[in-house]
Each structure stands twice: as C-alpha cells, then as structure tokens.
Amino acid sequence: MKKPIIKNIIICALALTCAILTVRLWFGNFLIHGLFPDEPVVAANPAHQRMSGGMVESAKMTVNFGDGLGYEEVYSNLSGHEAWGLSVRAISALIDEGSFGQSGAYNDAVARAEIFLGDSITIQYNFAMPTSFFREQFGQRPGFLSSVFGSFETLIIVPLAEGVNFFFISGIDTEESMFHAFRLNDSQVYNDFRDYFTQREYGPEFVRDDIPLGISWRNPIGEQMLHHTVRPFVLFFFPNPAAANEGVTINGVYTYLDNARVVKFYPNNVVEYNALQNTRPTGTISLASSLLAALDMLDRDKASMTARGEPMNEVFLSGYSTGPAEGQWNFYFDYVVGGRLIDIRDIEGIDAGVLSHAVEIVVINNTVVQYRRLMLNFYEVDMR
C-alpha cells in the first residue's frame, strides 16, 4: 500500500513544480537577480566616468540663433556635436573661474529681457540634475553651484559682451520657478562661441521645414519570427548562451528562461526581459544611480545589436516615474531618427501593444529588473 502513496506524492510534487515554473515562465517575477550577475550593472563608484557622462548627456540641446534665424534640436549623440563641446568647455571654465550673479523668480519677462537676447545654447533635462553631481563632472571648485541652489532642469548659455552668461533654471512652468545667473569673463571662450555661431548661420543644417520627410522601418529579425531567427537576439540576455538553446511558445510568444530570468519575444516585435529572483532594496536608491543602471543596459544592448550588424536607433530619455515597489524607478526612452524624436504611437502600422515608448526599463536596487524594447530599426526617408 505504501508504493501507491509514494507514487502519488511524487506525482503531486512534480505537478506543483510544473505549475510554479509555468507561473514564473509566463508572468515573470520582476525582482531581482540582475541581467549580468558577474558584472555589476553600476560601478561601485557612482562617478564612473563613462556612466556619469551618459547621465550628463541625457538631455535635449537646442542651438538657438538670434534675429529669427531658427534653431536646431539635438536629442542624441550630444558628445559628438560641436555646440556640446563648446558648452562643456564653458561650463568647466565657469566652475573653476566664474562668479555668481543673482537669483530670482523666472518668468517670461525675465526670459525676454535677460536671457533670450540672441544666440544661445539651451540644455534641458527632464529630471532635477543635482548641482553637486553636475559640478563633479566639470570642475574642481567644491560647492560653487550647490552653495547657491540644489538642482536644476534647464541651463541656458548666452555669449554676450566679451563673456558668457549662464542661467540655471528650476521648476519651469511652475509658480516656484527660479533662475540662478552666473558669469564667465573669458574672452577666448566668448570668441569660440561667436566663431561657432557666425559659421553656422550660413550653413544648410537648419533649413529642414521645406523638405517633406517620412519615417520607415525594418525588422532586424526578419519577416518570419521563428525560434531559430529569434535565438541570436536572446543570447544577449543570458550569461550562459546554452540556456537559450530551448524555448517554448506560449500564446504565440517565444519564451526562453533559466533559473534567474525569462525573455519573451512577442509577435509585434517587442522583446521583454524579466528577472526572477527576489531581493529587497537597501538604503536610499537615487535617481542618478538608477538612471546610470538603465543607461548601462542600453549601452550593452546597443553594442550587442551592432555586433550582429543590426544597429539600434539612438534613444532619448523622455521621462521617468517611481514605484510601485520600494526603490523602484521606471525610465521611458524614445527613438531619435534624423534628429527628430519619434513617438511610436503616431506611426501608422506600428502596434507595440502595451508599450507607450520605444524602450521601457524598470530598475530596483540599482539593478535592471525589466527591459522592454520595440525591436524595429527606424530610418528617415525623403518624400519628395
């Protein structure tokens, strides 16, 4: 009589195990083992230069020409743009040699009278950039900015009167909006700006409105999404590529997993990674360190795509939110094509399902726990 009982116990145990694995496989358990367990996603030193540079460059830069000559918006690859190089040199000189002018309420009258007098460069973040972190990236004078204000979202650089004016602005479009004005009296930096604007005023870069442009795309996986076509894109998510040898199809979704993660490819060309292991956040998790983890994940994915000959579009940090878990940060990125920010919801023929942005990343405890991306390569086409 004991054998049937033991047999039934074993069958029940196996059934329970299968049920647990199925739940983990399909629904995922967001929190948290980490995408690359042998390589910390965020360096122990939060000022790690590559990642810190990525955070500082997570901005929209607008080159504004005075006298109604127009403007140029730059959403990606800021470090490769001449105006960004000029701005970095000017900011470094400001922190080391500049002086504080005044603080005050920022409003349209102030902008018209004191800021937008002519040529300028505007750098806009969609998060509050801590001045202490910002100063660490550019200069050596401790407390130069943070002794006056704690954070900002917009920096406007205006070459004027043989020097350069800097306006750090926080809380734009709110009743508490403030500006903090600084001055750099450096004729060489001023002349560099003047030369740049004079040369660019006569260039064709800004005449784009009269050219009808469109957006198209291609699928790097191919027209038919099959396990053997999907698998090369799965390997990126697994430290041990052998784990991706086998996959299952659930409701048309190609699914792969090991004991730490599950990766799904949806029929609408969305890839989704979820971590499976639980952990608890420790201490205060900052926006800065969490954003660096998200940017590092994007860097890795982009490098992996490039290595396969399927380059990934540039992206721009369009927004972020917190929660619902403790220490959770959610980041939203959109593709940049031909210098323009692309809203995938506005493109006819694109169905990204639950995605509202091209890339969505969830970070908890400085670790990427969910990563979703629309795996289409977009490009600009001339409609003339």
Digit-coded pLDDT (tens) for 276-305: 866 565 666 788 888 988 998 998 899 999
Answer yes or no: is 227 within a domain.
Answer: yes
Nearest 5°: the CA angle 137, 322, 324 is 150
pLDDT attached to residue 384: 64
Are 170 and 101 part of one and the same domain? yes
pLDDT band of residue 233 (cuts 50, 70, 90) is confident
Phi then psi for residue 216, to 5 deg, are -125, 180
CA distances (Å), origin 259, targets 12, 241, 242, 347, 349: 22, 13, 13, 38, 36
Domain that residue 248 falls in: 215-382
Domains: count for the chain: 2
Rounded Cα gap, residues 128 and 131, in angstroms: 9
* CATH value at residue 335: 3.30.310.160
* DSSP 8-state class, residue 146: T
For residue 58 the two structure tokens come to 């997570």
The pTM is what? 0.80
CA distances (Å), origin 156, targets 114, 126, 215, 277, 316: 11, 15, 31, 44, 20
Are 172 and 307 part of one and the same domain? no
CA distances (Å), origin 180, targets 97, 131, 150, 165: 17, 12, 11, 10
pLDDT in tens, 321-347: 998 988 899 999 999 998 889 999 888
Single-letter amino acid, residue 17: T
pLDDT band of residue 181 (cuts 50, 70, 90) is very high
Burial of 41 (0-12, 13-18, 19+ CB in 10 A): buried
Least confident of 67-76, 139-148, 178-187, 352-361: 67-76
Place of tokens 């629904």: 27
What does the mean pLDDT of the chain come to? 81
Are 54 and 168 part of one and the same domain? yes
Q: Which of 291, 266, 265, 294 is nearest to 370 (CA)?
A: 294
Secondary structure of 209-242 in the HEC alphabet?
CCCCEEEEEECCCCCCCCHHHHHHHHHHHCCCHH
> Once rounded to an integer, what is the mean pLDDT over residues 129-154?
89
> Once rounded to an integer, what is the mean pLDDT over residues 187-204?
83
The better pLDDT of the pair 236, 4 is held by 236
Single-letter amino acid, residue 247: G
The better pLDDT of the pair 66, 259 is held by 259
Last residue of a domain, one of 200, 228, 263: 200
Are 229 and 359 part of one and the same domain? yes
* DSSP 8-state class, residue 314: E
Are 193 and 244 part of one and the same domain? no
Answer yes or no: is 44 within a domain.
Answer: no
CB 315 within 8 A of CB 305: no
Are 219 and 150 part of one and the same domain? no
The better pLDDT of the pair 124, 48 is held by 124
Q: E strands of the chain, at which residues? A: 60-65, 70-74, 99-105, 120-130, 151-160, 163-170, 178-184, 213-218, 248-250, 253-257, 261-265, 270-275, 314-322, 328-337, 340-341, 359-364, 367-374, 377-382
Are 176 and 68 part of one and the same domain? yes
Partners of 261 in beta bridges: 275
* Gap between the terminal Cα atoms of the chain: 84
pLDDT attached to residue 32: 41
Q: Which of 14, 58, 54, 33 is nearest to 333 (CA)?
A: 58
For residue 213 the two structure tokens come to 């442009």
Are 233 and 321 part of one and the same domain? yes
The better pLDDT of the pair 231, 83 is held by 83
Q: Is the pLDDT of residue 248 over 50?
A: yes
> Once rounded to an integer, what is the mean pLDDT over residues 228-250?
80
Last residue of a domain, one of 166, 200, 234: 200
